[in-house]
Structure 1
Amino acid sequence: MKFFFSVIFAVFFVINCAHAQPLAESPEWHSLLHIRDDNKSDINDPKFFLSNPFSPENEFNIAISELRSDKKDEMLCRFPARYRYLNKKLDLNITFDHCTNLNEFLKDSRGESVSMSFASSYLGSPISYFGHTFITIHKTNNRFFSQTLSFAAEIPQEVGFIDLLSKGIRGGFNGKFVAEPYFKLHEGYNIVEQRSLSEYRLNLTQDEIENMLWHAYELYDANINYKFFTENCAYEMLWFLEVARPGLKLRENFPYAVIPYETINEIKKAGLVMQIDTQPPLINSLHTIYNGFTAEEKDFFSRWKNSGDKKEELESINLSNETKDKLGYLINGYYDILFKRFHQGKGDFEDVKQLPYTPPNERYIGEPIRHGSSKIEVGYLQVNGVEGLDLNVRPILFNRIHDLYSELGDGTLEFLGLEMRRIENKTSLQSFTLLKIESLTKRFDFYHPVSWKIYAGADRSLKDSSLQPLVQVGSGVSYGTSSLLWYGMGQATVYPLKMTAGIEVLAGLSYWNGLSHIGIDFREPVFFTGRKSKGDFEAYFTTPITKKIIFKIWGKNQEAGIRLVLAF
């Protein structure tokens, strides 16, 4: 009898090996192994594979042969996504009932729908400059305990800024796949880091969701080199979608850099997105409520937030129930920020949570307005009455003048930008931006962020008009409403090759009206040597013509011009 079954299994094995070639070359098998176009895998962890040397066909053959080995049960639980696929294609009649950890993971993770979630840019860390994408598997009745799947770099705390940026670009950090409840990411992004969260609901079937979850379990211990511009969170999330729906080819549209928000655009182009929901940062909601208060209500709130028994005092004051509700929400949000971001006021936080309040509906249909991360500006200008043309190339640019990301924070992020001019038949490089980061976040009664900027590049601001490298660092404050921003800042500027340095005062005022933006920025030296002029200003007006073209009028000192900004 034993011999009979051995013969049957041998025949079965030979028959299935005949399927090896087409199945080993199928999109499903390649996506499960993260196979690129060069037939190599993106995953460099040998624990993720059975074969050595690795090839898709070798991996297939060994996976089949393991079914008749003593390690069969172990292999089924270690690589369930692969064996689930083989079971469906070859009708192997295998089960995974004995895989306790797998079944617990699936039970905790399953949901009714899936979103690609996007956390907006966070200027506090280079790794988060372009935002973060992750997958959320939604539980209808318990959104905050829905499962999320993400990919993140393991970064030691002692790593400095330059080392962080350098290793992040060349793949010096290890990346890990992480599964955790949605509330943890919501707390970290929406409250601690004050980032908006957008959810792009996908039209995946239940079987496609299962494909994704089984594969996520396989990836739990896999190590992958994290690369800031290529093999990052967004890139790995595209793999999940290609596993969920084999045949999708999303990654091939990013041959050089994978910018998280640009991957969202590709998902939309592929017809995967059914609905978009956005939750602004907690501080935005608090700011909106606070700005709606009368002067008397603002004064009461300022005194009340530092009082003793807040619940008793609130009930004793002659205020409308609606105002009391808003005050309760404000004070809860205030202590959420203190407790979760700054680790302060834990005792008061527990007392405050007893306040009755109804949270407003913070979510809305739609997404923040974006105009792409790459921009080319072409335009006509006049310099001291002489006509000319200019060209600005910004391969990586998020700019507060062109892009509206949130009602409260205004930020700029630019890498590797250059400006060229042609005047009187002479073409010159006017400026070069290696890195520019600017964060202008508005302050109000209990939220006091510092506005700051960092710039490294080269320009022609010195008296001899030569292109000179410079470094600038500034710090100050910003105030405003949902449509108005003004800021003041002190800035130190150093031209290292010319041994020239100075201190300047920066100030600006800007206003949003729908999608149009008008503003003016000032720069006045307090002490400086070697500069062309005493002061500097720039006024601008921008408005979108289409989703990809922005019209801009600008003027500064003896210069003025008209530009079209092409966004990609």
Structure 2
Amino acid sequence: MPIRLLALLIGSLCITTSFAAPNIPTEHQHQLASQRFWLSLGHYAPGKLGGWRSYVNDTEFFLADNGDKSPLAELKATLSGLYADPALGDDHPQCRYPARTRWLRKQLTLENLPEPACTEYQTWYNDIDPHSTVLVFPDAYLNSPSSMFGHTLLRIDTPDTKDNGTTLLSYALNFGAMVDSMDNGILYAWRGLAGGYPGQFSLLPYRDKISEYSHLENRDLWEYHLNLTPAETQRMIEHVWELRQIRFDYYFFDENCSFRLLELLEIARPTLRLTEQFPLTAIPVDTVRAVREAGLITEVQYRPSRERELLERFELLSGPELDWVQLLAEDSNHLDADTFLNQPTERQALIQEAAYRWTRYQASGLERDPANAQRSLALLQAINRNPAPAQPAQMPTLPEQGHDSRTWHLGLGSHAHQHFAEYGLRMAYHDLIDNQAGFPLGAQIELGKLRVRQYEGNHWQLEELGLINIRSLTPRNRLLKPWSWQVAAGMERIPTDNDRRRLASYLSGGGGFTWQPFSNTSSYLLATLRTEYNPDTAAALNLASGFDAGVLWRNPLGNLHLNATADYFHHGEVRRRLALGQQWELGHNLGLRLSAEREFSHFSTPQNSLTLQLRWYHY
């Protein structure tokens, strides 16, 4: 029996006749328990075998023993609890469930409720002082499995936030997994997929989230102001109090941060139908798109990451000027060098500001270094004497204006003179040459990829079953030198003897560098390792090292990718591949892709493939 229910029963022994619960007709109770708002308050969803189940995975949330499966039982227990002895104070059900209390009071015109002193709740609520709501979308962060698709949270503003410019003092409402700090990245990803972590809501200062996302993880932030009224925002925050320290199951792809926040928005405005749009997955950018389509967004503000601001400053400088940036960041005494002072004043200003930003960027996440702090102070003083002109950040395409996350494709082609039709599905969500708007060039995240071919003679064949394929190809420059990397796993057709192609399982990864020789063009070179299960070889499990090199070109039609790979296996096989792909962007959610490929292997003669695909992006 939940502790709160035990306290309620003990307290009910002291109820006076003036606090007696009304006799609500059974039919009316059934009607109340089936109303959408009551179901939303309990986070109920239809059970797979009928009935109801709550997403809440915590008995402390329910007053009834079977409250997680029976909205009616929880309604009855709540009605009884509202009339408990007010001496229970902060443990009184009215204090614990302010959103339930308000709704039932209105639905049943309850005039004789006891009035417990909810001191803890009132202090918490007054500190937040909720008035308006902002949906915040931190962009994707490929180096974290839980943030590969971005993230969403809510910012709760006070009545005077906008007038006083005190956004950083607002509270951020976040839902996230409670992760064991000892878990490595692979275990973290697996447990997140399988629901191995509990999830909880948390409220913390917005400035802390900005520091985490924009400064430490270098993620752009998009702030979507919502048209929720003060009363709607307040109703949502009342329910957030009910969810304090309450655990949910957490899954990366459906019951995640974004899905939970959509539930809160439906509490704020019960007429919304947001969660119904995500029966399988709830990718953050898709939920932002759903919020926009629901007409909730009134204004968008863009908060660039520290890295993006730095890169934009670097783009204003020539090669020799970037050398000065590095010199000043390493030794501020160069500010007084004649060779620096002889440059035009406006160029000095740009160099100084870039050097200051570079110094602060390098110090992100590190303990305070007195020498670094002294250099930063000297550069800041120089900037005050000779300030650079304001350089407002250029707002990229809004994330939700990119293509939808699920992809279907229909293709026609030939392989080794055999013609085929190809049918494909990708659950999520972008590759290197997909329609580009809203996505950075050189970023790829593919999950759940399926390709099936129908050859002449009605011969069907599974061509590929991709579990995961991630690439992060970030260009290097004179000062920023990030690594590029990739990882992939799944099953695909490989050449074997007698020109046959067999389905083999594989796990591969690699690391290296990316450069940007020209605008809208990137080239990369990665060293790779591959593990492959192939029963046709003497050792079924085979290891290979190799390389992956290519060029990406953003052109007037779309994206072009030229790619060359080679794998050198321990048993002597050498496998090489040369591929070219061009995507024509026919529309927001429509693309036409031409792919040409040539494979070389010791086991077969060189084989050519040519495919034309019509790609439809759809959730």
The answer to whether TM tops 0.5 is yes
| Residue 350 (structure 1) shift | 6.2
- In the TM superposition, 1:495-506 aligns within 5 A as 495-497=532-534, 498-506=540-548
| Residue 208 (structure 1) shift | 0.5
Distance 1:385 1:34, change over 3 A: same
Whether contact under 8 Å (1:545, 1:551) holds in the other structure is: yes
Distance 1:321 1:225, change over 3 A: farther
| Residue 156 (structure 1) shift | 1.0
Paired residue type of 2:508: Q
User: What is the CA–CA distance in structure 2 between the aligned matches of 1:407 and 1:48, rounded to whole Å?
Assistant: 40
Aligned residues: 562
Q: Percent identity?
A: 24
User: What is the CA–CA distance in structure 2 between the aligned matches of 1:350 and 1:113, rounded to whole Å?
Assistant: 41
Aligned counterpart for 2:103 among listed residues 76, 82, 85: 85
Aligned counterpart for 1:466 among listed residues 502, 506, 517: 502
Paired residue type of 1:559: S
Corresponding residue of 2:184 = 160
Corresponding residue of 1:49 = 62
Distance 1:265 1:95, change over 3 A: farther
Corresponding residue of 1:395 = 427
The more displaced of 352-361 and 187-196 is 352-361
Whether contact under 8 Å (1:332, 1:352) holds in the other structure is: yes
Aligned counterpart for 2:490 among listed residues 444, 453, 457: 457
Corresponding residue of 2:11 = none
Instruction: Give the match's secondary structure for 1:364.
Output: coil
Instruction: Give the match's secondary structure for 1:166.
Output: helix
User: What is the CA–CA distance in structure 2 between the aligned matches of 1:335 and 1:212, rounded to whole Å?
Assistant: 42
| Residue 363 (structure 1) shift | 6.7
User: What is the CA–CA distance in structure 1 between the aligned matches of 2:265 and 2:468, rounded to whole Å?
Assistant: 33
Corresponding residue of 1:28 = 37
Is 1:298 matched with 2:311? no
Whether contact under 8 Å (1:453, 1:475) holds in the other structure is: yes
Instruction: Give the match's secondary structure for 2:467.
Output: strand
Aligned counterpart for 2:613 among listed residues 539, 563, 566: 563
Q: Deviations over 1:46-68 (max 9, x none)?
A: 22122223233333333333334
- In the TM superposition, 1:233-382 aligns within 5 A as 233-309=257-333, 317-319=341-343, 322-341=346-365, 343=367, 345=369, 347-349=371-373, 351-352=375-376, 354-355=380-381, 356=383, 360-362=391-393, 364=395, 367-368=398-399, 369-382=401-414
Distance 1:409 1:519, change over 3 A: closer
Whether contact under 8 Å (2:133, 2:228) holds in the other structure is: yes
Aligned-residue CA RMSD (Å) = 3.2
Is 1:115 matched with 2:134? yes
| Residue 207 (structure 1) shift | 0.6
Whether contact under 8 Å (1:380, 1:390) holds in the other structure is: yes
Whether contact under 8 Å (1:211, 1:243) holds in the other structure is: yes
- In the TM superposition, 1:145-184 aligns within 5 A as 145-184=169-208
User: What is the CA–CA distance in structure 2 between the aligned matches of 1:365 and 1:476, rounded to whole Å?
Assistant: 27
| Residue 490 (structure 1) shift | 0.8
Instruction: Give the match's secondary structure for 1:333.
Output: helix
User: What is the CA–CA distance in structure 1 between the aligned matches of 2:352 and 2:428, rounded to whole Å?
Assistant: 42
Aligned counterpart for 2:121 among listed residues 102, 105, 110: 102
Aligned counterpart for 1:226 among listed residues 219, 240, 250: 250
User: What is the CA–CA distance in structure 1 between the aligned matches of 2:359 and 2:440, rounded to whole Å?
Assistant: 19
Corresponding residue of 2:513 = 477
User: What is the CA–CA distance in structure 1 between the aligned matches of 2:143 and 2:254, rounded to whole Å?
Assistant: 21
User: What is the CA–CA distance in structure 2 between the aligned matches of 1:161 and 1:479, rounded to whole Å?
Assistant: 27
Is 1:207 matched with 2:224? no
| Residue 34 (structure 1) shift | 1.3
| Residue 343 (structure 1) shift | 4.9
Q: Deviations over 1:134-181 (max 9, x none)?
A: 112243111222211111111112213343233212221111111112
Whether contact under 8 Å (1:279, 1:363) holds in the other structure is: no
Is 1:448 matched with 2:481? yes
Q: Deviations over 1:507-544 (max 9, x none)?
A: 111122478222311224566767575x3222222232
User: What is the CA–CA distance in structure 2 between the aligned matches of 1:95 and 1:272, rounded to whole Å?
Assistant: 37
Instruction: Give the match's secondary structure for 1:441.
Output: coil
Instruction: Give the match's secondary structure for 1:560.
Output: strand
User: What is the CA–CA distance in structure 2 between the aligned matches of 1:247 and 1:406, rounded to whole Å?
Assistant: 30
Whether contact under 8 Å (1:435, 1:456) holds in the other structure is: yes
User: What is the CA–CA distance in structure 1 between the aligned matches of 2:584 and 2:350, rounded to whole Å?
Assistant: 35
User: What is the CA–CA distance in structure 1 between the aligned matches of 2:166 and 2:491, rounded to whole Å?
Assistant: 52
Instruction: Give the match's secondary structure for 2:364.
Output: helix
Corresponding residue of 2:593 = 552
Paired residue type of 1:48: F
Whether contact under 8 Å (1:407, 1:482) holds in the other structure is: no
User: What is the CA–CA distance in structure 1 between the aligned matches of 2:115 and 2:153, rounded to whole Å?
Assistant: 27
Paired residue type of 1:477: F
Paired residue type of 2:502: S
The more displaced of 27-36 and 210-219 is 27-36
Corresponding residue of 1:135 = 154
Q: Deviations over 1:221-249 (max 9, x none)?
A: 11112122222111111111111011322
Whether contact under 8 Å (1:28, 1:246) holds in the other structure is: yes
Whether contact under 8 Å (2:412, 2:613) holds in the other structure is: yes
Paired residue type of 2:61: F
User: What is the CA–CA distance in structure 1 between the aligned matches of 2:374 and 2:97, rounded to whole Å?
Assistant: 45
| Residue 318 (structure 1) shift | 4.3
Distance 1:255 1:98, change over 3 A: same
User: What is the CA–CA distance in structure 2 between the aligned matches of 1:407 and 1:396, rounded to whole Å?
Assistant: 13
| Residue 472 (structure 1) shift | 1.4
Paired residue type of 1:483: N
Question: Could you list the runs of 5+ residues in structure 1 that have no partner in the other structure?
Answer: none
Q: Deviations over 1:100-120 (max 9, x none)?
A: 443343334335532222222
| Residue 385 (structure 1) shift | 4.8
Q: Deviations over 1:232-277 (max 9, x none)?
A: 1111111111110113222122222222222222222322223333
Distance 1:162 1:326, change over 3 A: same
Aligned counterpart for 2:523 among listed residues 459, 482, 486: 486
The more displaced of 329-338 and 218-227 is 329-338
Q: Deviations over 1:367-392 (max 9, x none)?
A: 13521221122222233455432223
| Residue 453 (structure 1) shift | 0.9
Whether contact under 8 Å (1:408, 1:442) holds in the other structure is: no
Distance 1:324 1:175, change over 3 A: farther
Aligned counterpart for 2:467 among listed residues 430, 434, 439: 434
The more displaced of 91-100 and 402-411 is 91-100
Whether contact under 8 Å (1:505, 1:526) holds in the other structure is: no
Distance 1:132 1:58, change over 3 A: same
User: What is the CA–CA distance in structure 1 between the aligned matches of 2:343 and 2:123, rounded to whole Å?
Assistant: 50
| Residue 210 (structure 1) shift | 0.5
Instruction: Give the match's secondary structure for 1:247.
Output: coil
User: What is the CA–CA distance in structure 2 between the aligned matches of 1:538 and 1:482, rounded to whole Å?
Assistant: 23
User: What is the CA–CA distance in structure 2 between the aligned matches of 1:95 and 1:147, rounded to whole Å?
Assistant: 32
Aligned counterpart for 2:564 among listed residues 517, 522, 528: 522
Corresponding residue of 1:510 = 552
Paired residue type of 1:137: I
User: What is the CA–CA distance in structure 1 between the aligned matches of 2:168 and 2:140, rounded to whole Å?
Assistant: 22
User: What is the CA–CA distance in structure 2 between the aligned matches of 1:546 and 1:525, rounded to whole Å?
Assistant: 37
Q: Deviations over 1:386-407 (max 9, x none)?
A: 5432223212232122154778
User: What is the CA–CA distance in structure 2 between the aligned matches of 1:552 and 1:437, rounded to whole Å?
Assistant: 20
Is 1:63 matched with 2:78? yes
User: What is the CA–CA distance in structure 2 between the aligned matches of 1:315 and 1:88, rounded to whole Å?
Assistant: 76
User: What is the CA–CA distance in structure 2 between the aligned matches of 1:523 and 1:342, rounded to whole Å?
Assistant: 38
Distance 1:536 1:214, change over 3 A: same
User: What is the CA–CA distance in structure 1 between the aligned matches of 2:368 and 2:564, rounded to whole Å?
Assistant: 37
